[in-house]
Amino acid sequence: MCGILGMIANSPVVQDLYDGLVVLQHRGQDAAGLATYNGSQIHIKKGNGLVRDVFRTKNMIRLKGNMGIGHVRYPTAGCYREEEAQPFYVNAPFGIVLGHNGNLTNYAKLKKEVIDKDMRHLNTSSDSELLLNVLAHELIQQKPKKHLTPEQIFGAVKKVYKRVEGGFAVMSMIAGHGLLAFRDPNGIRPLVIGIRKETGKKTEYIFASESVAVQTLGFQILRDLGPGEAVYIDQKTHKLHSEILARAEFTPCIFEFVYLARPDSLIDSISVYKTRIRMGQKLAKQILQDKKTPRIDVVIPIPETSRPIALAMSEILKVRFREGFVKNRYIGRTFIMPSQHLRQKSIRYKLNPIPLEFKGKNVLLVDDSIVRGNTSRKIVEMVRQAGAKEVYFASAAPPIVNPDVYGIDMPTRGELIANRLTIPQIAKSIGVDRLYYQKIEDLLECARAGNKKIKNFCWSSMGGPYPAGHITEAVLQRVEKERFAYQTSAGSTDDDQMPLL
């Protein structure tokens, strides 16, 4: 899970890129980076931390040029060292920088090819650096003379598609040429294009992981990149070239709508906010169909993602909606913190209950999902300490039972509480009197209602098929092994790996 951004304009882009990364900060809190091109030189600044911590005035002054890309990182591949921050750079051909959102599922095989056959050096364990080197190699194989043509660029990307597997949205910049973006053949990871026009000037373009960055910066949404589509914007003319280079079943990630994306975004023309409203309506109707429906005094969301879900539930259930937690906005999203130790430590600092809303009441807590169960358990403990009489819990997502290998941090089966326990056991483990999960058919229907052209979604983490790559048991075991190494590099202890039952 990362956020990517790219822009080509008629004036310096650094401030817009910086502002766009701030808007996409929810997609990655570990590192941030910017790269710009001023016609003769690529300027790069990146580092660990939030956007506001990585860049200073001196950096902004140095990042000159009317074309650039940006990235906010939450690592699901690679590690937590500063050199893993994106974008990455290679000097041949022409000079290329690249940032990407997603995971390459054939990383091990591809790495061996790049080192042994392509004879290229990799300086990190990041699959983004690997992807950059594959792209650079295939561009060279097009045998350009002094300048790459759009046909040669698309020819190279077509070869990239044949070599690379997984879920990915890619943003790159080729010095002296322009911006290149492409999306995986299944469209698992999102990418949208926006335009900004001014009379007498060339059209300006922006690419972003979410539409909210496009609109915030004053661009109009043009469209989403299609699955397997590459788009190239020529630096000199600002002419847009596009081509579908690979085809597969269109299966965008359902978890974007559950948790990852901001509610004010459109993902593949589907409103995230409306989808969450529909999720709440479906979940509430399921509760009403329960023959042992408990008496609920108040519906309370666990901030922030579940707020529209809980609001819709309260309307259907005809029960009061209340804000029961005050959120410290200076604590990041706990789901995307690098270790279980940090997630557990920060949750108490992040949320503080308002006892007045809990004391003596039967409370329905609403959250977007239950992944590891540890955060939910801590919250339920706080609610009971605040005086709640009965505590019920509703998850807007179905049970998370499988690893996600396409760029979301839920890769090991041992960490997933629903992989090990039944629903009654989960309820007991997190300390609630009743537990409700969204049905997968209802969740898919909620998203599909926003764009009926999309027939299916990627819901592999919820028990569905893996749509991209050849995901075997060996692949899953490799991912789990790497995950353990990443957690160790992030400073977690062996105790953090043990499930809390």
Instruction: Tell me which residue of 105, 274, 257, 136 sits closest to 190, measured CA to CA.
Output: 257
In whole angstroms, what is the distance from residue 472 CA to residue 499 CA?
24
Q: Is 2 a catalytic residue?
A: yes
Q: Which residues contact 103 (CB under 8 A, 6 or more apart)?
A: 76, 77, 127, 166, 167, 168, 405, 406, 407
pLDDT at 474: 82
pLDDT at 161: 98
Unique residue bearing structure tokens 């045998």: 143
Please give the chain's pLDDT, 501 residues, in tens: 899 999 999 999 999 999 999 999 999 999 999 999 999 999 999 999 999 999 999 999 999 999 999 999 986 554 567 889 999 999 999 999 999 999 999 999 999 999 999 999 999 999 999 999 999 999 999 999 889 999 999 999 999 999 999 999 999 999 999 999 999 999 999 999 999 999 999 999 999 999 999 999 999 999 999 999 999 999 999 999 999 999 999 999 999 999 999 999 999 999 999 999 999 999 999 999 988 888 999 999 999 899 999 999 999 999 999 999 998 877 655 544 445 555 555 666 789 999 999 999 999 999 999 999 999 999 999 999 999 999 999 999 999 999 999 988 776 888 899 999 999 999 999 999 999 999 999 999 999 999 999 999 999 999 999 999 989 888 788 777 776 665 555 554 333 332 222
Q: Per the residue annotation, which of 2, 79, 253, 446 is the catalytic one?
A: 2
**Exposure class string for 108-140: b at 16+ Cβ within 10 A, else e:** eebbeebeeebebeeeebbbbbbbbbbbbbbbe
Instruction: Tell me which residue of 221, 186, 213 sits closest to 3, measured CA to CA.
Output: 213
Unique residue bearing structure tokens 């269109």: 250
Residue-range domains of the chain with CATH: 2-248 (3.60.20.10), 271-453+465-491 (3.40.50.2020)
pLDDT at 408: 87
pLDDT at 124: 95
pLDDT at 82: 84
pLDDT at 499: 28
| SS3 assignment, position 227 | coil
| Whether the Cβ atoms of residue 178 and residue 235 lie closer than 8 Å to each other | yes
In whole angstroms, what is the distance from residue 258 CA to residue 440 CA?
12
What is the DSSP pairing of strand 362-367 with strand 390-395? parallel
Phi, psi of 117, deg, nearest 5:
-95, -45
